[in-house]
Structure 1
C-alpha cells in the first residue's frame, strides 16, 4: 500500500510538472492573422506609385471588432507631422534627420522634414477601402488610418479588405525614401497600408516618429511593376528570377511598356521591404543548413565589392551559428540590401548602408540578421519592449562577431564587456531612465540607444551570471521552442528562464527593467580569518568571490541571493578551472553586510572575476593585501 501511495503521489508530481510546462505558454493565448496580396505600379521618375491590396484579416481575439486600424508610415514625412515636431524638440535629434544651418562652432539644427516641398514629402492616400465588398468609412490622423466597419468582425471570422491607394516616396530621411546618401534610388520600407497589431493589450496605435514597429504575422504575395532596367531586392522568395534583371545570367527580361514585373512570396512574416536601383548587383550563397543568402548592393569600387563578397560568406556561417544557439532559422532565404540610412530589419531581409569597412559591414549585417530571431521570428513588440528586441539582438551580434569574425571564439567569461562599459557611462551620466519606458518616450536619443542596445544586452549576459551560462543557453533554445511566431513578452522569457534554472527571477527583471537602481558591491575589512563584503547600493545580487590565499591556493566562494530560492550550478569557465568552489549560505537584500570565514590568510580577493556583474563602481571590487 505504501508503494502504491508513493506511486500515486509521484504520478501527481509528473502531472503537475507537465501542467506547468503547458502553462509556459499563456493560458488563452491568441493572435490575429493577416494575408496580404498586393500589386504596385511604380513611376520611378516621379517617385510615385499606385497600389492595390487584397487583405484577409482573421479575428481570433474572442471579441467582435467594430473598427480596425492601419499604419500609413509615409505620412510622417510631412512638415508639422509628429516626427517633424519630435526632431524640433528633442535635445539630441538624429543627425541624419536634421541639417545644420548654423556653423560648426555654433550649430543650429533644423528638421529636414520641415523644409520638404510638396513634391518631396511622403504620403499615402486612400482611394477606396471596402470590407467584404461593402465600402467603409474611415479617417486619417497623421500616420494612423481608422476604419469604421460596415459590420463587426465576429470572433473566429475572416474579413476581406480591398484597398486602393496612391503614394509618394519621400526624400530619404529615415529608413524609407528616394535617392539615399549612397545613391540607392528606392528604399521601400513601411510603404503600404499596414494592419495594426491587436492583442491582449489592445490596439497598438503608435504614431510613427522614427522608432519601432509591431504587426501581426501573415503571408505576403507582392507584385511590383517597375522600369525593366532596375534590379530589386526584397523580402521573401522571388517567383520569377528568369524574367527580371539581376538574378540569372540567362534571364530573358519580360517587359510591358518598358516595365518588368517582380513577383515575391513570403510566409509567416510581419513586414515586407524592397529596394530598387538600376546599378544593383546580386550575389548569393547557401549556408551548410541550406539557407540561401542574397546580397544586393552598389558595386562602387573594388574594395566595396570585396567587402560585400567576404560579408556574404560570413553571413551564411552566421545563420548556421545562430540556428544552433538560438533556434532554427525557419525561412528559406535572407536578403541583405543596400539602402536606407543605417540598418533596419524586416521580414527575411534588411536595409543597410553599404559604404563601410569590412568589420563595420559585417557588424551591421550580423546585427540586422540577428533581428530575424529577436523581433521577426518571435514578433516582439519593440514599441513597448525595445530592449528585448535591440538588447538581445546586440547580444547575439556580439557572440557571432567574436566567434565568426574575430575567429577567437567568445571571450571566456564576458563577450559583452563593451556593452557593460557603455551602460556604466549611461548609469553615471544622470540621463538613465527606466528600461520599461515606451520606445518613443525617452527624453534623449542617447538614453534610448544605450538603454535599448547596451543595457538590454547586459540584462541577457548578466542573466547568465545569475542562473549559469549553460542554463542561459538552454533558456534561449527552450524559449524558441515554445514562443516562436507568438509575440512573447519579457515575462514569457523570464518564465522560461525560471523553468530551466529553478531560480526565481522576479526581483532581477523588476529592478533592472523598471528602475534605474545601480549595483555596487565592495570589499570591506579583511583579516587572516574573515572577509567583509558590503552592498553599497539598493540592488542586491548573488556573488562569485575568488580568493587567492597567501600560500598560492585559490577558492571560489558562491553566495546566492535569498530571493533566488535556488543556486546556479558550477560554471566551466577557464578562469575557474581547477579551483575549489564553496557554496555559502544565502545573502538577503535587507542586510548590507556579509562576512566570509576563511581558514587561511587571504592575499587577493576579487568580486566577480568573470566581469558579468554589472557593478557600476569596479574600483572597490578587488583587494590585494
Structure 2
C-alpha cells in the first residue's frame, strides 16, 4: 500500500493552487459478526473523525442506509409517487398493457426489512445521546470537536440485511447470498457548505475519504470478496491452495486506505481468480462456480481486456493509486465502491465487459475525485461513461464506423431534449421528477458535456485537462468550477458561458446554414445558446477549407484539430458576438457545399439545417 503515500500526503497538505482548501478524514475500525441464518449481524466500530475545518462541531452525523428498506420509508414513498419507478424496486400488479407498479419495499415483512439499530455510542468512555431520523443518525458530542483536531467514537449496533431491493442485500436474483453495500453507519460529509444530510431514496452518495480496517466473522464455508487488501489471504478459503480444517467461524480482515466507501460480497460458491495488471493493481474476480459454461467463458474472455482497460485509464486519466481492484458477482446490476464493484454475472460478453469498464472507470471519477453525487451526479456518471466509451472505441474498436464515438450519448441527449421532461443537470439528484430525466441527464447529457468540451477547446486540450485535473484534485472533492478552472488554464478559453448554459439550463443548440450565394455564406443561430462553429466548405473545384468561428465569450480560440481535418486548410474568422443571431463570411472560391460541424460533436438538436445544400430525404 506504499503506492498511496504521495496521494495521502497531497490530501493532507494544503495545495498550492487552493490555499484555503481543507477536507475531513475518517479512520474506521470495524468488527462484524454475521448470523447468516437470521440475515443479521452485530457490529462494533471505533471511528476516529478528523476535523480539518476551522469550525467547532458539537454533533456528528451518520448515514444508516439500511433503514430505507422498510415500509413507509422515504424510499418506499418515492416509489409510490414517481411516475416511472425503478423496475428493479417494484412489482407489476397490473397487466402488460396496463401496468400498475407496486413498491417492493411496501411488502417487506419484519424478517425481510433492513435496519440499523444503535445500542450505544461512546466518546472517551462517555455515553452519547443520539437519535435516528430515517436514514440519518444524529450524535450529540459530550466534548465538542474543535478545529484541526480529532475525536474517537465507539459504536455498537445490530443490523438486519434486507431482501435485496436496490444495490445491496441478501439473496440476489442470481443466487448470491450477501451483497453488502451501504451496510454500515457511514459518517456524513461535512464541507464548506456544512453537513450533507440527504435521505437515502436510491440515488448516489457523498462522503469523506477514510481508512478502513474491517474484520468480518462468518461460517467457514463462505468466501468473501471486498474493498481493499485481504490481510490473511494465505490462510483463507478460495484464496489459498492450502487445505483447511472445518471451523465453525473464520474472520476475514480487509484493509483499505483513502477510499470513501467499503463494500463486500459473500457466498459459499464463489470462485476466486487473480490477475496482475503490469505496473498496476492486482485484479480479483469472484463469481459463482455454478454459472453456466457460457457465462464463465465470458468472464474468462473479459479478463485480458480488463487489463487493457486499466492501462488505457492510466495513460489517459492518471495512474490508479490503489494496489487491488475486486470484481464481485452480486447486487442488482452494477455499482461502484472503493477498489471494488458488485455486478450481476449472467451477461453476454459485450454486456459483461461494458459493465466492468463502466464500474472500474468510476474508480477515477467517483473515487479518486469523490464528486458530490447528490448534486453533481452527472459529473461522475458523465465523465465515467465518456471514459468507458473512449476505452471501448480504442480497445474493442467499438463504433468504428461513426465519426463521433460518443454518438449514442448524443442520441440519448437529443431524445431527452425533445421529450418535454428535461430538467437542468444542476438539480439535486434526488429531486428529478422522473427517473427518465435523471438517467438521460446523468449518463448521456453528462457524457455529451465532456465530448462537446473537446469540440470547444480541442481534443488535445481536453486530454491535458484530464491529466492536470488528476494532478490538482486527486483524493479531494472537486466541484464543477474546479474542473472548469483547469480546462480554462490548459486551453486559454473562458468556459463560464458553457457551464452555465449547458448545466444550469435546458436551452438547446440549433445552428443552420441560411443561404449560399457564390462565395458568400450566411449562417443563423436559431437558438438562445451561442457556440463556436467549425464550418467545412467544399468548393466547386473539389477542394476544401475549414472555417473556424469562435464566439466572443470564449476570449480565446482552440488550435486546429488535425485529427479531423488533416490536410485541409484552416482559416479562423472573427468572433461571432453571442448577442447576434446571424453571421456572414466570404470564402475564397465559389462554394459547392457547406457543413456545420462535420465531426458531429456540436450537440445541435436539429442537424437537418446544418448542411447546404440540404441532403435529400
Deviation at 1:245, TM superposition (A): 1.2
CA contact (8 A) 1:59 1:156 kept: yes
Q: Map 1:319-398 to 2 at 5 A.
A: 319-398=310-389
Q: Give the drift of 1:24.
A: 7.7
Which residue number in structure 2 is paired with residue 131 of structure 1? 123
Aligned to 2:42, what secondary structure does the other structure show?
strand
Deviation string for 1:563-593 (max 9, x for gaps)?
Answer: 00001001122x4111000000000111000
1:237-264 CA distances to partner (integer Å, 9 max, x unpaired)?
A: 0011122211122253673xx1111110
Shift of 1:278: 0.5
Q: In 1, are the aligned partners of 2:92 and 2:101 still within 8 Å (CA)?
A: yes
Q: Take 1:438 and 1:247, find their aligned partners in 2: how far apart are those partners?
A: 42
Structure 2 CA distance for aligned equivalents of residues 411 and 71 of structure 1: 47
Distance 1:251 1:578, change over 3 A: farther
- What residue number does 1:4 align with? none
**Distance in 1, Cα, partners of 2:380 & 2:494:** 23
Partner-residue secondary structure (3-state), 1:224: strand
Which among 572, 590, 593 is matched to residue 601 of structure 1?
Answer: 590
Unaligned ranges ≥5, structure 2: 1-13
2:455 maps to which of 451, 460, 465: 465
Mapped partners of 1:427, 1:343: distance in 2: 27
Q: Is the 8 A contact 2:537 2:595 kept in 1?
A: yes
The question of whether the paired residues in 2 share the 8 Å contact of 1:420 and 1:614 is answered with yes
CA distance in 1, matches of 2:149, 2:403: 52
How many residues end up aligned between the 2 structures?
600
RMSD, aligned CA: 1.4
SS at match of 2:44: strand
Q: Aligned partners of 1:588 and 1:32: how far apart in 2?
A: 44
Q: Distance in 2 between matches of 1:397 and 1:51?
A: 37
Distance 2:123 2:303 in 1: 44
Deviation at 1:404, TM superposition (A): 1.4
Q: 2-side partners of 1:378 and 1:605: how far apart?
A: 42
Q: Distance in 2 between matches of 1:109 and 1:24?
A: 53
* Unmatched tracts of structure 1, length 5 or more: 1-21
Matches within 5 A, 1:175-574: 175-250=167-242, 252=244, 255=247, 258-299=248-289, 300-406=291-397, 413-573=403-563
Deviations 1:185-239 (A, max 9, x none): 0000011100000001111100000111011101000000011111111000001
Q: Contact conserved, 1:283 with 1:296, CA < 8 A, in 2?
A: yes
- SS of the aligned residue for 2:395 comes to helix
Q: Aligned partners of 1:289, 1:624: CA distance in 2, in Å?
A: 53
Contact 1:374 1:393 in 2 (8 A): yes
Query: Aligned pair in 2 of structure 1 residues 126, 289: CA closer, same or farther (>3 Å)?
Result: same
CA contact (8 A) 2:15 2:21 kept: no
Which residue is equivalent to 1:61?
A: 53
Show the counterpart of 1:15.
none
SS for the counterpart of 2:562 is: coil
TM-score normalised to structure 2 length? 0.96
| 8 Å contact kept, 2:135–2:200 | yes
Post-superposition shift, 1:103? 1.5
Q: Distance in 1 between the 2:49 and 2:202 partners?
A: 26
Measure how far apart 1:73 and its partner are. Answer: 0.3
State how far apart, in whole Å, the 2-side matches of 1:295 and 1:251 are: 21
1 CA distance for matches of 2:292 and 2:311?
30
Matched position secondary structure for 1:585: coil
Deviations 1:334-386 (A, max 9, x none): 00111110111000000111111000000000000000000101111111101
Aligned partner of residue 336 in structure 1, secondary structure: strand
Q: Matched residues in 2 for 1:197 and 1:383: separation?
A: 11
Q: Which residue matches 1:78?
A: 70
Partner of residue 5, structure 2: none
Inter-partner Cα distance in structure 2 for 1:344 and 1:49: 23
d(CA) in 1 for partners of 2:405, 2:195:
38
Residues 405-426 of structure 1, C-alpha deviations (whole Å, 9 max, x = no match): 2378x77852211000000010
How big is each residue's C-alpha offset from its partner over 1:46-98, in whole Å with a ceiling of 9 and x where there is no partner? 10000000001000111110011000000000000000000000000000000
Instruction: Please give the alpha-carbon distance, in whole angstroms, between the structure 2 residues aligned to 1:483 and 1:290.
Output: 21
Partner of 2:602: 613
Q: Partners of 1:460 and 1:358 in 2: how far apart?
A: 27
Contact residue 57 and residue 158 of structure 1 kept, 8 A: yes
User: Given the superposition, is the C-alpha separation of residues 411 and 325 from structure 1 closer, same or farther in structure 2, using an over 3 Å criterion?
Assistant: farther
2:152 is matched with: 160
